[in-house]
């Protein structure tokens, strides 16, 4: 076959442009074929990755569904008291909680029954302000305090919660908006006097930026729940995170992603000059 093609080209029975294009096509096909066999793509099963993804999704969903039962069971087994007891601290706490009149306030309950309550309810979801108002200022009251959206938490609001914990985790994104300064009083940091003593040191705008400035050990997350849809994370990943966030391939699904929906709405002003 090759010899016949060579003879045809030499005798001029085949157009030289067609011959050149045929040669380039044959070379390309041979190169692709060689690459497929040398890299294993020739025997690649295109459905295998889909099956692996399906197994992973199924296993992940099963594990998540077990969390709602396994974690509470572990917490219940770790209790060292009988929740049905009618005497002792457990019985007294139940009577206080069921009292129709003269019941104890939350702060009083935590001061009196703090150990018992934290054993029964080891996880507390509360704002820094509510924590300062309702829970006593006891060092080591919690094993760990986690600040979520820490870029929105002021340093002065975070200190109280940090003092009540044995360890602290501060979670946030430095690229998000800082805490609002609306209705906050401002102050000026005085310059040091002749003795080198100043009156105050200005805090950072949030507990997150305070930790960054203090060089607290950091661990950067490489994916986000929005990573499940590329269009939800692409802009911020490119412009704010240097493309370091991982994104996961996902089939197009109706109702996901970013879309523009125009609504017939307007700003409603509440009070003089107030925008809500």
CB atoms within 10 A of CB 124: 15
- Percentage of the chain with pLDDT > 70? 85
pLDDT, residue 185, reads 45
Q: What is the pLDDT of residue 251?
A: 57
Most confident of 78-92, 141-155, 172-186, 254-268: 141-155
CA distance 32 to 144: 57
pLDDT at 269 over 80: no
Q: What is the pTM of this model?
A: 0.56
CA distances to 48, 65, 200 from 187, rounded to whole Å, are 64, 51, 10
Q: Is the pLDDT of residue 46 over 50?
A: yes
Smallest CA-to-CA distance from 49 within 254, 243, 251, 256 is with 251
Of residues 232, 113, 107, 221, the one with CA closest to residue 172: 221
DSSP assignment of 5-41 equals HHHHHHHT-S-HHHHHHHHHHHHHHHHHHHHHHHHTG
Task: Give the per-residue pLDDT at 180.
Answer: 65
Tell which residue, 25, 22, 27, 29, has the closest CA to residue 6.
22
Question: What are the angstrom distances between the C-alpha of 200 and each of 31, 154, 187, 193?
Answer: 72, 17, 10, 12
Q: How confident is the model at residue 169 (pLDDT cuts 50, 70, 90)?
A: very high
Mean local confidence (pLDDT), 175-203: 58
Q: How far apart are CA 167 and CA 207, in angstroms?
A: 15
Beta-bridge mates of residue 275: 269
Quick: pLDDT tens for 4-17. 877 777 777 878 78
> What DSSP designation does 147 have?
E
- The pLDDT of residue 18 is 81
How much is the average pLDDT of 177-186? 57
Largest CA distance in the chain: 113
Q: In angstroms, how far is the first alpha carbon of the chain from the final one? A: 81
Q: Which helix (H) or strand (E) holds 146?
A: strand 145-147
The DSSP symbol for 142 reads B
Instruction: Check whether 38 has a pLDDT greater than 80.
Output: yes
Distance, in Å, from the CA atom of 93 to the CA atom of 80, rounded to the nearest integer, reads 16
For the residues 216-240, what does the mean pLDDT come to? 82
Phi-psi region of 102 (alpha: psi -120 to 50; beta: other; left: phi over 0): left
Averaged pLDDT of the chain: 80
Query: What's the average model confidence in pLDDT over 105-118?
Result: 81
- Rounded to whole angstroms, the Cα distance separating 275 from 29 reads 66
């Amino acid at each position: 076959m090759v010899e016949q093609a060579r003879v045809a080209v030499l005798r001029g029975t085949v157009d030289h442009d067609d011959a050149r294009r045929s040669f380039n096509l044959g070379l390309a096909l041979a190169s692709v074929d060689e690459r497929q066999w040398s890299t294993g793509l020739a025997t690649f099963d295109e459905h295998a990755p889909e099956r692996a993804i399906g197994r992973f999704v199924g296993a992940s969903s099963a594990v998540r569904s077990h969390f709602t039962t396994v974690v509470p069971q572990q917490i219940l087994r770790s209790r060292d008291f009988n929740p049905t007891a009618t005497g002792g601290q457990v019985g007294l706490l139940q009577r206080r909680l069921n009292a129709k009149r003269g019941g104890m306030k939350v702060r009083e309950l935590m001061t009196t029954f703090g150990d018992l309550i934290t054993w029964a309810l080891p996880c507390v979801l509360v704002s820094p302000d509510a924590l300062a108002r309702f829970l006593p200022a006891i060092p080591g009251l919690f094993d760990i305090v986690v600040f979520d959206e820490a870029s929105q938490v002021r340093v002065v609001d975070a200190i109280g919660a940090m003092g009540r914990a044995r360890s602290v985790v501060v979670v946030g994104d430095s690229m998000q908006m800082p805490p609002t300064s609306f209705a906050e009083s401002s102050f000026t940091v005085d310059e040091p006097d002749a003795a080198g003593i100043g009156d105050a040191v200005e805090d950072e705008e949030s507990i997150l930026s305070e930790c960054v400035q203090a060089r607290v050990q950091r661990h950067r997350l490489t994916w986000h729940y929005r990573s499940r849809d590329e269009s939800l994370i692409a802009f911020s990943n490119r412009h704010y995170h240097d493309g370091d966030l991982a994104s996961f391939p996902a089939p197009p699904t109706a109702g996901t992603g970013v879309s523009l929906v125009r609504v017939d709405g307007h700003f409603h002003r509440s009070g003089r000059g107030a925008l809500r």
